[in-house]
Amino acid sequence: MILSKKNLKQIDIDFILNEKIQNEKLNETLIVVPTNRKVRSLKRELISLSPNGATANLHIHTLSTLSLSIFKLTNLSEFFLLDDATAVVLLNKAFHKIKPTYFANYQDEVPAGTLDRIKNVISEYKRNGVSPDLLYEQAKNLTGSEKNKANDIAKIYADYFNECSQNNLFEIGDIYKFLNELSDKDFQKAFDELFNEVNFVLVNGFDEFSNPEIELLNRISECREDFFIQFDYYKYNPALFGHLDECFSKFEKRGFKEITDLSESQNLHFHSVIREKLFDFQKHKPQSVNEKIFIVNPATPEKEIEFIAKEIKRLLFEEKVQPEKICVAFNLISEHSKVVRDIFTEYGLPFNLTDRFALSESQPIIALINLLEIIENNFFYKNIFRTLSGRWIELDGIDLSNLLQVASNLKITAGYNNWIESIDNALEEIKNLNEDDERNFLPEENYLKAKEDIISIAEMLNPFKSKLTVDEFRNELDNLIVRLQLIPKAINDHKDYAEKNVRAITSFVQTVHNLFELMRIELGEKPKHSVSFYLKNIKTALQFARYNLREKIDSGILVTSINEIRGLNFDYLFIGGMTDGEFPTRYQPEIFLSGSFRKEDYKHILEERYHFYQALCAVKKVLYLTYPNSDERKQFTASTFIKDLKNVINTLEINAGNYDKLIASEKELLSAINKNDLNSDQVNQNLIEAGFNPENILEDIKIDELRIQNPFDEIPYNGFLSEQLSKESLEKLKALSDRTYSATQLEEYAKCPFQYFLRRILLIETIEEPTEEIEAFELGSIIHSILYTFYKTIKEQKRKIENCSEEEFAEFVQLIFSIARKKTEHIKFSSPYSFFEYEKIFGINGNIKHSILYKFLEEERKDKEGFEPLFFEISFGKRTNSSIEVKLNEINFSGKIDRIDVNEEDKLYQVIDYKLSGRKPTREDFNLGISLQLPLYLYASKLLLKAEFKKEYQPASAEIYSLKIFNEEFGRKIAHNLPGRKFTQEDYLKASEDLIKIFEEVVPKYIDNIRKGVFNLSLLEKREDKVCGFCEFSSICRIRELG
């Protein structure tokens, strides 16, 4: 229908507009539409219809831009226009100024979601002309928490309202209020000055108007007689249009009358049927219409998007439809945008996705904020690594990997001075290292480089160290963005991301400049503030700042929200996500709207129905309604709107499963093609024309089949590289295999050659984040150091703890704890976890008898049956700078044996390995040749003792010394590969010799395989338990493909 104050019974709007176009008088027309997208679309349409494809002085506005234009002409004082981001910053301040009752728990930090909702509520109050005083009045009628909540929101609104008034800060609701309070003369004057040549005003495409908007339109209608509102409303179908009754009534009260609309667009059969009958609760015989309507039920949300993409591709290639004639719309676009973006890109479809992006999630912006947070958080390591680990902030010469190693090594988590002092202390300690010092230092050059890099970072951020005025901070931030070359980097980024990142950076600059302008108005130009103050406000603003990509006109399929297609038309329209809960969405009352201002459930469903109706009116030829069946979490129910539509219009079904076999992308082609297909000359010719090499594809298929069917066959694609390696590569492998091997390296290869290849050949590594907490391996190192120094001291004193007296035992207790205190002086035990580790050393709850050290002394006091602890922390091999070499078949080994106990009379020895976990290797692990530490130590000890005493000593046992304080098995446990339960000393002797033999047999095979380039996946039956389950390379390994 048409609403106007003019006394007419009927009017043809289309005819009038066509006359204006043909007579080149479009400058006499003002058209007001609901969205900026409609403005752009209508401008293109009118220009294309104009003679010679050109026209001048088009007056097409949204209600907001029209109001702002009149406002700028009539408001003579300086003002600031609030956007979402600056409004939220202001609102956040108001939140902290009042003394809330309902929101008392939010005094320190208001959750972003709460702030966003209250901001939207207050903006809606303003748009509808609701004042704080009116809220206070409403609150009087409420009780309990509802009353407290209403009063708190009224207080926040009042403070926010006053701040806006005092500083000339305006939102669109404030602009409406200002314009509606203007005198008739001033309003008429401003309108005439802007639109002097306009004699015809059309308001088109809106669904509902607020009270201030109705009043504003009423004022404009007084300025021009030919003022018409094209209002899509049908009073005889209240189940669809009932929520507009009040709006219609308000226009009637202001003198507007209903006029019959003769426009062709308003009299299409399809539109008439759904306008009159959709949702009316009557049983109808479905009618046939010119438009085709398909209902599609794909299996999953992903399959839904795949169907849409494949059908669009069919339309483009088979039916030669232009991309801009196609639209894909969702009620909740954000739920689908990622999948749409991925699948449409994979299928090579040109598209314009109008989803708005959160500025706070933009990678260059995150990197910039992290950089500034380095200063705010005093060089907190996470800010440093978050900043420099990405590609946006590049500081010449910074070695990030080394910084992380040094931070982890020295337990540096924050503090610029702490970084410098810790590194200086480490450098000083390296100069004064004692031979028994157990601290695990990095090479000196690592510390020097780390210090140089920290100083470089500090110099870059130096301008932000001191307090700055608003203008000073803004200038320094602008300079930093230029210095970091963020815009050039974004422009030269990958074509898929360049525009998005450029838009993000320019939107950020605009947002913070608006924010700084607001701060300057509020705070003045002279006060200075810290970087923390500015960052807090910037981060608050960024949570609510959004940006989108510029629409590429007529260059792709439009993918957008239902709201954005109001008033637009498309030949082919896909409405996805047609499930209950998404369209219609479930009613969720806005808990921060008070009393009578709350929207009721019935009004919500009426609005959702109307939005569906508006979307249906956008289709000209073919409509597809799609809804998925289920995802991994739940089953979906088809939208009730589909059932309602089928009640009045004949629809058709499409089986989405038939589209699964269609190939629409390179990925799908390569996944679907098999060897038999490549026997066809036609298929090969098609592949060649598409840019593929059939021979390469066939070879890839054969390789994949080999890897899947025979994953452990000795072929290059399964890690057996020798046949394919060049002479140069084989020589490099041999050079690598001539290295000195530790037990850890040997065990890695034994368990999984591929893991060894990644870690030891390709040198891929994961670096742990630094922590102030003492870690298990560090606790082990400290304990080892304490026990070593204890035994070294009593040996020098020629004392023994075995079978000692009570008095001597007390002296040993005093000695070992004094050593422990000295060894732990530099360790931080600040966290609850690390303090517990401290108590393990010094005594749980301060009781030394409940400590590892005390229990150790009790164990050592026992009779050792002729064995005496003689050697402690014995290093061997070139890597340890030891003069003692341990070899087997020219293979060099290195390691450190915790302790060797010797029985000189029987020429026997015991190898002892301290373990905090207490876990000893299993018989199976020894026999499989994957537990090699104790066998290596037995082998090495034999050579060491022979070199020391010039005599042969036999291995009596290999033992794990459990230091697990809460385990009843604290103490020594013999590790062996013997079957059964009861064993003699002779059995242990034989078992120890067997372990050495296993070592001598398997290790040369491993080294030989490394030289040959054998790096297959783990062959262990229990590989998930023994290696795969905790492998750090699982994300790049194909073992799970094999089951």
The pLDDT tens digits of the residues spanning 780-799 come to 778 888 899 999 999 999 99
Does residue 766 carry a pLDDT above 70? Answer: no
Mean pLDDT of the 354-364 span = 83
Give the global pTM: 0.65
Does residue 511 carry a pLDDT above 70? Answer: yes
Instruction: Provide, for the chain, the percentages of residues in helix, strand and coil under a 3-state DSSP scheme, each rounded to the nearest 5.
Output: 55, 15, 35
In this chain, the answer to whether the domains covering 2-77+174-267 and 292-356+552-650 adopt an identical fold is yes
Does residue 116 carry a pLDDT above 70? Answer: yes
100-104, 570-574, 757-761, range with greatest mean pLDDT: 570-574
Q: In this predicted model, what pLDDT tens digit does every residue of 602-626 receive, in sequence order?
A: 788 898 999 999 999 999 999 999 9
Does residue 293 carry a pLDDT above 50? Answer: yes
Mean pLDDT of the 421-444 span = 73
Mean pLDDT of the 695-704 span = 83
Give pLDDT, residue 401. Answer: 82
Give pLDDT, residue 680. Answer: 82
Give pLDDT, residue 90. Answer: 82
Helix (H, G, I), strand (E, B) or coil at 892: strand
Show me where the domains of the chain are located.
2-77+174-267, 80-167, 292-356+552-650, 360-547, 666-718, 864-1025
Helices (H), 524-598: 531-542
Give pLDDT, residue 432. Answer: 66
The residues near 371 (Cβ < 8 Å, ≥ 6 apart) are 383, 387, 393, 461, 480, 484
Among 148-162, 165-179, 320-334, the range scoring the smallest mean pLDDT is 148-162
Q: Which of the pair, 653 or 771, is modelled with greater confidence?
A: 653
Mean pLDDT of the 870-881 span = 76
Q: In this predicted model, what pLDDT tens digit does every residue of 889-908 receive, in sequence order?
A: 889 998 889 999 999 999 99
**Beta bridge pairs of residue 570:** 619
Does residue 331 carry a pLDDT above 90? Answer: yes
Give pLDDT, residue 217. Answer: 95
For tokens 């409420």, what's the residue? 142
Give pLDDT, residue 815. Answer: 95
Q: Which of the pair, 30 or 881, is modelled with greater confidence?
A: 30
Q: In this predicted model, what pLDDT tens digit does every residue of 641-695 receive, in sequence order?
A: 999 999 999 999 999 999 988 888 888 877 778 777 788 888 888 888 878 888 8
Q: Measure the CA–CA gap between 106 and 471, rounded to whole angstroms.
A: 31
Q: Enumerate long-range contacts of 519-522, CB under 8 Å, 24 or more apart.
A: 519/470, 520/470, 520/471, 521/80, 521/167, 521/168, 521/169, 522/163, 522/167
pLDDT confidence of 772, banded at 50, 70, 90?
Answer: very low
Give pLDDT, residue 860. Answer: 93
pLDDT confidence of 588, banded at 50, 70, 90?
Answer: low
Mean pLDDT of the 198-208 span = 90
Longest pairwise C-alpha distance within the chain: 126
The CATH classification of domain 292-356+552-650, taken from the options 3.40.50.720, 3.40.50.300, 3.40.50.880, 3.40.1390.30 = 3.40.50.300
Q: Measure the CA–CA gap between 868 and 858, rounded to whole angstroms.
A: 16
Q: Measure the CA–CA gap between 515 and 541, rounded to whole angstroms.
A: 8
Cis bond before residue 628 (omega within 30° of 0): no
Mean pLDDT of the chain: 86
pLDDT confidence of 436, banded at 50, 70, 90?
Answer: very low
Helix (H, G, I), strand (E, B) or coil at 134: helix
The fold adopted by the segment(s) 360-547 is PCRA; domain 4 (1.10.486)
At the second CATH level, the architecture of 2-77+174-267 is 3-Layer(aba) Sandwich (3.40)
pLDDT confidence of 595, banded at 50, 70, 90?
Answer: very low
C-beta separation of 103 from 141 below 8 A:
no
Mean pLDDT of the 13-30 span = 91
Chain center to CA of 225: 56
Does residue 878 carry a pLDDT above 70? Answer: no
Mean pLDDT of the 206-235 span = 91
Chain center to CA of 1039: 27
pLDDT confidence of 73, banded at 50, 70, 90?
Answer: very high
**Beta bridge pairs of residue 662:** none
Give pLDDT, residue 597. Answer: 46
Does residue 70 carry a pLDDT above 90? Answer: yes
Give pLDDT, residue 596. Answer: 46
Mean pLDDT of the 880-894 span = 79
Give pLDDT, residue 554. Answer: 62
Give pLDDT, residue 666. Answer: 80
> How many H helices and E strands in the chain?
40, 26
Share of the chain above pLDDT 90, in %: 42
Mean pLDDT of the 252-278 span = 86
Give pLDDT, residue 551. Answer: 65
